[in-house]
Amino acid sequence: MNNFLDQIPSLPVADSVETIMDWLTSHLSSLFDFVQTGGQSAMDGITDLLVMIPPILFILIVALISFLATRKKFGLAIFSVVGLLFIYNQGLWEELMNTITLVIFASIIAIIIGVPIGIFMSKSKWAEGIIKPILDFMQTMPGFVYLIPAVAFFGIGVVPGVFASVIFALPPTVRFTNLGIRQVPKELVEASDSYGSTGWQKLYKVELPLAKSTIMAGINQTVLLSLSMVVIASMIGAPGLGREVLSALQRAQVGNGFVAGLSLVIFAIIIDRLTQSLNKKK
């Protein structure tokens, strides 16, 4: 049996992928260069703007947002103040701003792409059948693998980091949008049809509002997955707290690595609680 298997020629999968990548990089190099340049400028601008804000003012703004988002409860606001002051005290403020920029860009792009795809899936069974395996592939593929096409297309820096983060973080928004719309009671959809609603009216006035809770849960997961890619993205030059973790790992600096990792945890908790609070009924 083993001899028979050994006689089967290897499928040229690796060569085929190399050929596709070479074709894309040679024929679409101008597009990739434009995205790299424009994206780098935009993200540098956002980071510079965030850094210009006095840290104490930024901390107070986050605390106020946390207080209002949690229906005037002090828990998250106090945690935000203490946590952000700790990050500032450890000299990681600028790295935090870079991390915020990466997460914001990756999350917004993933949401803009993911919600329409999820809506499309909910309206078409054949589209769902085609897209679901692709989402399974995207979620099960190790995050490090996404760095390969990211570097091939955009070189090194924050833009390929965002590219890899978008691919890794996109599936939850797509899945939850599809699930939320499909879970809308059929009676309400039929009632909307009976009143002569168009497809767009039914979507925006009935389906999306009723699916909001489920969609927001998917967006919450997308934001957290974008944040989880910060350390991996630092391997291809993305700045931020992830770079500090990677640097500490390379130099075996346990203390510095712990502080940078704890800063990421603090930021993740704040982001998670804020996005969850947006999903709670008033």
pLDDT confidence band for 3 (50 / 70 / 90): low
CB 102 within 8 A of CB 230: yes
pLDDT confidence band for 162 (50 / 70 / 90): confident
What's the CATH code, domain 14-52+90-278?
1.10.3720.10
Predicted confidence at residue 177, as pLDDT, reads: 92
Average pLDDT value for residue range 240-244 = 83
Average pLDDT value for residue range 55-63 = 92
Domain limits, the chain: 14-52+90-278
In angstroms and rounded to an integer, the radius of gyration of the C-alpha atoms of the chain is: 22
Nearest to 96 by CA among 58, 134, 39: 58
Q: Is 165 exposed, middle or buried (0-12, 13-18, 19+ CB in 10 A)?
A: buried
Contacts for 272 with CB less than 8 Å, ≥ 6 apart? 220, 223, 224
Average pLDDT value for residue range 85-95 = 90
Q: Tell me: the pLDDT tens digits for 215-236?
A: 998 998 999 888 888 778 888 8
Q: Tell me: the pLDDT tens digits for 111-124?
A: 999 999 999 888 88
Predicted confidence at residue 1, as pLDDT, reads: 53
CB 157 within 8 A of CB 40: yes
Higher pLDDT, 34 or 7: 34
The pLDDT > 70 percentage for the chain reads: 96
Average pLDDT value for residue range 64-84 = 86
- Mean pLDDT score of the chain: 84
pLDDT confidence band for 2 (50 / 70 / 90): low
Nearest to 275 by CA among 230, 224, 239: 224
Predicted confidence at residue 244, as pLDDT, reads: 84
pLDDT of 31 > 60? The answer is: yes
Q: Which tokens go with 240?
A: 């931020």
Residues 240, 269, 266, 263, CA torsion sign = negative
pLDDT confidence band for 153 (50 / 70 / 90): confident
The phi and psi torsions of 92 (rounded to 5 degrees) equal -115, 20
Report the C-alpha gap between 249 and 245 in whole angstroms: 6
Q: What is the pTM of this model?
A: 0.85
